[in-house]
Structure 1
Amino acid sequence: MNMDTMKMDMMMRRNNNNNKRERNNNKESSNNDSNNKLRSVDLSCMSLESLPIPSLDLATISKLDLSNNNLQNIPESLTARLLNLTVLDVHSNQLRSLPNSIGCLSKLKLLNVSANFIQFLPQTIENCRALEELNANFNKLSKLPDTIGFELINLKKLSVNSNQLVFLPSSTSHLMALKVLDARLNCLRSLPEDLENLVNLETLNVSQNFQYLDTLPYSIGLLLSLTELDVSYNNIKALPNSIGCLQKLQKLCVDGNPLASPPMEVVEQGLHVVKEYLCHKMNSSEDKSSQHKKKSWVKKFVKCGTFQGRINGGRKRPQHEGFTKLKHQSIDGLASPGGFIGALSPLRIFSPRRSFS
């Protein structure tokens, strides 16, 4: 074989290889386009009363939107085959329960079941360990699975507002990744005692539990990442002194509570004065019996670097000027609507509202 023939042969091979590569790239691109179509399936707002027999390979779907239909149930066989599902949205249907096979969705990150008639979440939901957001607002939940906090270790947002919850399971305090907890508009009698494990919690809303919620746990002062706390429209008469240790707290809503501590004149001066008042009260050694109860908590505060006072030796801290003579000041960013107007109203004197930020 002469040199020209060899060169031509090499060129032809090179062209063939390039053509093969191009065909493979086109094939991959076509497959990717096909997969992209399959990955997201939108069957929302179709007035569906039942799900049609799927013609798609369910294992290829990563997002399924069944919201705003009239579905009364989700077949067990359907969820069991959605092995790669990461988002499931079934809000605004007629669902009364979720299938037990939802525990098969090991890759699920977002589950929206809001605006249904669900009375309980299946225990198997704990197997959805990749879950980062659970929205179960506007249902008829009377309780959550007891061990939900031990298993959903990646959960960042838990929204269960507008239900019939009487309490949150104690395991809730183990949701260490949790950033937002919204449990307003329920019938909560209390909150879990050991909240200090919620080290990443930034927003806690337990407002509008009305006459049911009358106390907050002392451990609320160890939520070191907390920036927003809404306890408005409950039956709380005294805020825990530990709230004075929440260094990152920027917004505190206490509207509609019969607060006696802190008193009204402190509340009206804003969040920074309230925090100073509560911190001073916790540091004070005047109340011996109360001090005895707080010793274990104080150790925790010292460990976390949020407590600056002394409680031993009977030594009193110098009293802050702001507590001997409290002066009314205007507050920037009142938490309640029309806060400035309400503050000037004569009816304000008789109102139980306590709000500030």
Structure 2
Amino acid sequence: MTTTIELPAVADFHVHLRDGDMMKTVVPTVRQGGVSVAYVMPNLVPPITSVEQALSYHERLREVDPTTKYLMTLYLSPEITPDVIQKAAATGVIAGVKSYPKGVTTNSAAGVVSYEQYYPVFEAMEKHDLVLNLHGEAPSGPDTTVLNAEATFLPTLLDLHRRFPNLRIVLEHCTTAAAVEAVKQCGPTVAATITAHHLYLTIDQWADNPHCFCKPVAKLPGDRDALVAAATSGDPKFFLGTDSAPHPKTSKIGAKTGRTAAGVFTQPYAAQYIASAFDRAGKLEALKGFLCDFGRRFYKTVEKGWETKEEVEKVSIVLSNEPTQVVAEIGQGEVSVVPFMAGEEVWSLRWKN
């Protein structure tokens, strides 16, 4: 029996769109995945640490596809000061600041060692209503590995929320039941994104498939089940942030460096992966909130003028359980990227408006 669901276009509050030829390859896939609003990460090389860099990047993205609305972020670093926050807020394009603990993931070598030095920045972000996006992992150490890095970080989330109760904070790409519970413990200014791939994966998949390897890594079946439960719960604290992270196929299989690049590419099928996962959970009624409503509400996309209510209501996608097959690769040569679940079937999608 065919099931079709019409929804507003999706808002994805965590995307990696890269730069150069890779950017030109992956930006068109944002719309392919049913997304009209993309919250863009700043971990380029060099990272986006100034308002001018963010605005220039925004224009490069719009040159590739002007139909998507790109919300920009700055990379938390010593260059980010209260004055920079004030200037960023005035652009009407920069919506937040992303924090990467030093060395935990792709292009995070310039990341944070201690948050204390950034307390004045967080105060300015409260004042100017910018969002703090936390890559929620502690760096590896004597007692910390990729399997408990998120759990080790959670006290930092709770401490920052206690110190800055009016600062809107997003714990990015939750991977554990503990992270879900920590977010629930916090007040309404704290929310979390959940990716598409973490609704499917456990440690077994990335242990022998480089195209399933990301940071933070997928954990145990119980953690995956907790993520599915949170995403399908109707709790507005949890919404989509795909963390779609394209890497050349050669980087994923370690052909040049012998190391596997961390990142799962989901952008071309973002809404379809979620629909398929929610269908398996018997929770299709929860799709609209998770994909379309809760993230927009938390980020105030209409209130801040990034979208109009009429735009959100008029532009729509149609999802169907008639299967479509995920392609084997997107792009060619040095920008050939393997999407998540290549060769497998997911729901199909078309744009209505």
TM-score by length of 1: 0.29
TM-score by length of 2: 0.30
For the pair shown, the structure with the greater C-alpha radius of gyration is 1
Structure whose residues are more often strand by fraction? 2
Structure whose residues are more often helix by fraction? 2
Flag the structure with more relative contact order, 1 or 2, with Cα contacts below 8 A and sequence separation at least 6. 2
